[in-house]
Structure 1
Amino acid sequence: MFRFLKRVFKREPVSEAPVVTESVKAEQADRAEQQRQARQAALEQAIALAHDETAATAFILQSDYPDARRQAAQHLHSRACLEQVLQAMRNTDRRVARLMQQRLDALDQEEKRAAQADDAIAQAERLVQLPLLMVNQVTELDHAWRRIGDAPAPQRERFDASREQLRQRLQAQTELQRALLDAGTALTRLIEAAPAMPAAEASQQLETLEASIATHLASPEAGSLPKARVQAVQEQAAQLKAQLGKQLAAQAQREEALQARLAALDAWEAQAGQDAAQLDDAALRVTWQSLPGVSDAPELDQRFDALAATVRAARRPAEAERPAPASMKTPAPAPVSAQDQAEARAAMDAALGAMESALEEGSLQAAAEQDRALRAMDFKTMRPGEEALSRLSRLRAELARLQGWARWGGNVSREELLKAAQDLATQEMAVAERATKVGSLRERWKSLDASAGPASRDAWLRFDAACTEAYAPVAEHFRQLAEERRQNLDHAAALTAEVSAHAESLGLEGEPSAVDWKGVAAYVSRATQSWQKLGPIERRERKAAEAAFGAALDLLRKPLAAQQQREVARRESLIAEVEALDAGAPRVTDTLKAIQERWQEQARALPLSRADEQALWQRFRHACDALFAERKESARTLDAERQQHLERRQALCATLEAAVDAPVATLGQLLRDSAAAWREIGPVPRAAQQQIDDRYDAATAALRQRVDQARQAAADAQAALLQQKFALCRQAEQALVDGALDDARREALQEAWRALPALGGGNERIMAARFEAAIAGTDAGRDALHRNRDLVMEEILQMEIRLGVESPPELSQERLKQQIQVLQSSLRSGQRPVEPQQMLMQLCAQPALLDDAAAARVERLIRQAQS
């Protein structure tokens, strides 16, 4: 009926359904074959364009076959063709456009890798040319190259060549550093072994090592050597060279002293051979002690002692025979007791032992003190023996020799200190290092006064002037520091005044909400940082300056601290709000987000101290995390429930799928029960929602299809049965009109009627009444057949209108009138529409004499009503 209303209001022409003939089917088959052949030809043409990108591009742009376009697109690789096809196929063929985009992306990646490879190669070539190559530079280069991935072969060859050069340079650096370490080790061993070696041999080895070190330092990779290690090796070499120089000088002096003593001994022994009495042993001893000493030649001292004994023995007879003048006579000494003599000899032996020990240890000062103690002793009272006097003479000679050496060494050391002080004045170094070195030089000069005797005044004045000149930059530095401290004190006072003025200008005693506390906190931070950046101040003035600045800063810090405490309370309230939230509330995440935004606003408005901010933030974040954890746990529980619901729905789907072969009579109840059960089951996981719904829909659709098929089969059977009984009624009524309804004919019709099953839905009684009326063969029944014909034809036309069944063309005018009447009747209020099945049975129940055309129209209506 709705299709009819649509045609009425749109004035659609009534057209017959097209009839597909065999010729049309053949034409369609030919057309399909032609299209298949054209598509195959296009594919073959696309395959033939394998090496011509320009032709392949033109083919894609004009081809109407997607498969052929995709085949031709496989041959495109240049950027211009890819971009042209992508632009043309973007909205036409997505597969081709996607392939073009993928290849363009691959080209971009290749170009990017090539550019990165070029950068890495350029970096490698730059590193090759660098005078100083670091290992970390090569490591970073290797990392960059590995990130590139698979680079083109030419670039890889260039990089490998540069990398091999870098490897060789690193290898050379490693070998050079190892050689320098070996040289340093050899120097250390030579320094340790030099005292026991001949100076010439040690000097020769030192020259060899110095030449080796010079070769290392002249290497192209010498810049990679650690400067501290190079300096240490050079200092070791210089130290050893100075040590060997001193050793050689000492050997030369020893040779000179040895030659001088040998010459003196030879001359004295020759004179003693002629006339020993002419020599004076005391004068000889003084002369012998004044000569440079030789510590490792005791045979010389023995020769001198023998010479002195010979001289004394030769002089005794002469002195005994010569009378002493009266003026030279001395009174006899007072007698000394044996005990006193023993004590004096013991004191002399102890002093001699102490002096000998001091000389062996090299302590000249202690040995000199013992010599002074011995000189203060009265040898006449103790009468020492020849052995003690010889021992004393030998020790004094050794003391004189060592003192001579000490004076000489002290003068040499002072000259070195003077040269070092003079060189220090021209060297560039840190102030602290310069002050330390000047102080060290002065201390060493003082130590020489104690060990080598006092220096001359001229030497001291020269050394003091050199140290003063070397110390001048330190003095200037200290003067500048004092000036900076004074300026820093002025800056501190200015900063204190500025803080005080700023605190007064803010008016922090007023309404707190009107103060920009964030600006106050920032100003306090800046002022504190400015104070911390101030340079040093004199210690006696710094305490007062710090107290004044702290008092000025408290004008800001105390109100700020009070406001921060209020801010802490507000943050605490936000934490309490988060802790009070219900994790299961519908929009709790929006609420939490709003609280977090408020937290951020408050944090931006007034920052707290780092400790308070961190502690409050940790608590706030913990509260948020706890809420999310609770929601996560709730979501986990809901997920478990959804999983259970999914399993129940899967079981229900399995039941429906298994019922495909069940009796059709049970399917309706099964569908109703399953629909109720499906609605009772809760939600399932979102990821499985669509899949399980599709499965359920497919299972129910399959069952409904079986039910619909069974219902349609039953409806078709009822329609066929109704047509058969309608035809029997027409045969009986036609026989009645023709007068051919005899007993045999009546019996045959009744037998045919009984052979058919009964109609359902109460329709059997209606059709049986019409059939019985026709079989009865009364005149009233015959008259009714003629009388009802026009009424039945009108009902046929109305039912065709209501069911949307086409009517014969000659009835088009009448059908149009009836359509208007049907439309008007359907628009009347309060009138229920008549069901098509009811109208059909009313039509079939009317006995009427119908021709074959009318009967065919009724049968078509029966089929349409049952469909």
Structure 2
Amino acid sequence: MFPFSKNNPADNLSDAPVAPTKTHEAHPLDVLTHGAFSAQTSGERMASIREWLASGPTPEQLQQVFKELSGKDKGAAKLLREKLDEIKRSKTQATIALEWADKAQALLAVPKLNLADALAWQRDAAKAGAPLSKEPLAGLKAQLMERVRAIEDLQHRVQVQREAAVLVAQRIEVLSTKPWRDAQAAHDALSADVSNWQTEASALAGDANWPSVDAKFPPLLQASQAQLGLVWEAFQAALTSTVLAAEDTTAALPNVPVWADELRVLRGIPLEPVVKAPKAPVDPEIKAKATSAVADALAKLEQEVTQGHGKASAGAANALRNALKEFGRLIDDKLENQARGALAAAGELEGWQRWRADQLREELVAKAEGLLKRPEGQAIGGRKMQETLRALRDQWKLTDQGGVPNHGLWKRFDEACNEAHKVVEVWLEKLKSETAEHRAHRLALIEEVKAFAQANRTALDDDWKGFSRVLHQFGDRWRESGHVGEKIYAELNTLWKAAIDEAAAPLEALQKLSLAARHAMIDEAKALGAQEVLRIDAVKALQQRWQAEVHRVPVDRRHEQKLWDAFRKPIDDAFTRKTADREKAQSALSERDRMVLDASKALQAANASGDAQAIKSAMAALDAALRGQAQAQAAVVASAQTSEEKEALAQTQSAQAATETEANPDATTEASAEASTEGSSESSGEAAGEGAAPEAPTPVVRKPVVAMRGDDRPGMKKEAPAAPGRGGKFGDRKDAGRPSGRDGGRDARPGARTEDRGGFRDARPDRAPMGERFDAPRLGDAAFRAQRDALEQAQFALRKLAAQAHGEALTHLLTAWEKRDAELVPGTQELGNRVAPAVRAAWSKAINQAVNQAPAGDASTALLRLEMAAEVPTPAEHISDRRMLQLQLLTKRNDPAPVQTWGQDAAVVLGGAFEPAAARRLQNVLKVLLKP
């Protein structure tokens, strides 16, 4: 409500007879809560509750006290509610932690760990709100991550072993093209490599985490073992037969063509050139037609193989085989070889597709068979089972599209799905019965609403709020009536809307009339606010009419809030305009404002200079001007105690009072009397003393009060401050934010802004003590805005200068490296707090020494370590080196990480030769590492 009243309630109460005091019995919980129920004010009650909470009450006691106190004091009950919520959260987190700990232990206990399940555990646990940073989840998380790293490392080693097998086979193949004596010389080393490879492959298969490796890796390792074994056995047999043929001329020649030709030369047998029988001449037109047909079939097959289509590549391969059978004798050797190679690739793809499809089918069969083999506590519900079966069948269809069907696995899969579908059938029957029950319940509710509409054409005892409450209760019951199908719900929803609209018709008609009346009151409020002289009695009467309408007819809360805002805005604007006019009259700045403005201008000049030290000094001076104004104001007031100033002050006040009386003939008699009294104070020593009292905040001439909110009528006491205004959201409690007494002023409510516009009370710990803040005069708007803008610009300038200094330090460091001059290395203060003196000394030493005397270490490796430490990208030509270095660091578990040794790595780079590319990379790294 607006803080205006025609009569002072305090005066009326003072004359009323005093009622006999009633003695109330103490509340049963008052002793338990340290006197919270017998406290007189909300602050004392909240203090008692805080003291009681510190003693550690039980949850049952907290719930009992909260139930009793929630209807009396919302603020004190909020403390209890927060404590109860905290206890509930702790219990909930403990339950969640226990649940996810059981899941993690189940994952660790499985011999075959699925990496996706292990990684999903941490993600799902975080989504569920489990405390992963606390035990036991922290330890279980570390164990899972360690096992995942071990499995991934094992898979990586399998790939390395596969590549190693290919390289060994290539060495053997290369030896078969060289003289047999070279192969015999390399036999021992090659035998040792093959033996080592076989040992490492066997160690991989015997690892404890081998069952958890992805299913595609064991076949790769087995294929590499088989291939390398065959190649090695063939090589040994060929080499043995070659050595025997070299010693015995009657022995058979080896199957290796190069070695056989070499032995023929040693035996004196001439080499016979291989002569291929020429093909019979063919008509060019027929040959071109045959070449085109084979080339088209070959292109189609290569396209399908490249895209990995299993079924399509099989058809294309058959087409190419038929083309070769028909036109093979008519095409050249090059095209024939290309066709043979494409057919071989298609055969490998077809075999892989069949193997992979069968593997996926086996996984789907295992999932389908495991649906009914779950533990009793992990059984799947009907809806979840239905969605799972649908997803499994869709995956099976996709698998059949990519490979040849497997009827045996399909039979097992279909039987398992049919068995699991029995759970879905039971759930569907239950859902059907529940739907029928919910439908009957909703129909009964609709009939009840219709009966209410017939019996209540108007509100009982004109209680429209109760009428609206009943309608809302009907809506809540409709929403809580259970689930029905979409088709049934659409049918019932039409009946429900018709019934509820019929029941709400009287209230809606009344709301339309109420909204029209409120809009009329809003227009009336705009007219009152636009008047030059604000009529307080008319405003109060209009507000009382608004409150009566609000209490009589309920409206949607959001709409009601908008109407309330529109209603009070013109009145608030009128009061704001009145306050602004009053402030404009005080055109002269106070001494404090001038000091703050001068300090703000000095800070602005320091900001423009770009000197960080000058900016900081100016900020300190501005802070001193803001803090030390009470003493400065006292000095100004003391210096104004001369008789000449008193006389000038009295004359000025009299002149201003006369001027205002002429301009405002309706001014109160009390204000005129005060002005005349102050005007005659030049001949009265006592009155002069009052005019220059130390309590006056400024020496500026004070105007007599002509109009003041709440007390500008004749007969009102000036000592009584205005009651707090009705602000905030519509519907708030009338006494929210008021002090305990009815004479509290606008600044007496909690959270009121202080005189210096610095924010809410006690919101800034760096402000002056309470006594100094209340003694100091209030800052004017210009001074407040000037000091705020100056401080913001000063902070921005300091940040900009710090960034510039950081870039200049890097430039000087690179220049010192280029010129090999340690004197140019920036100081520790310029480099920042992330560079220790020892690190700077190492950099200076590395720059000062010659290139051939640089510290041990490879500059390129050090640059890679620095980029890894700063997490910046590496140039494309060095990416492979960085990856290799990362692999090497994985094998050195006890060595310090690049983040810990970046200072030494930078010294290694600075000790090497200067290169522009290396300098750019080092600059990019140090931008991140030296950033404060």
TM-score, normalization by structure 2: 0.37
Higher relative contact order (CA 8 A, sep 6+): 2
Higher helix share: 1
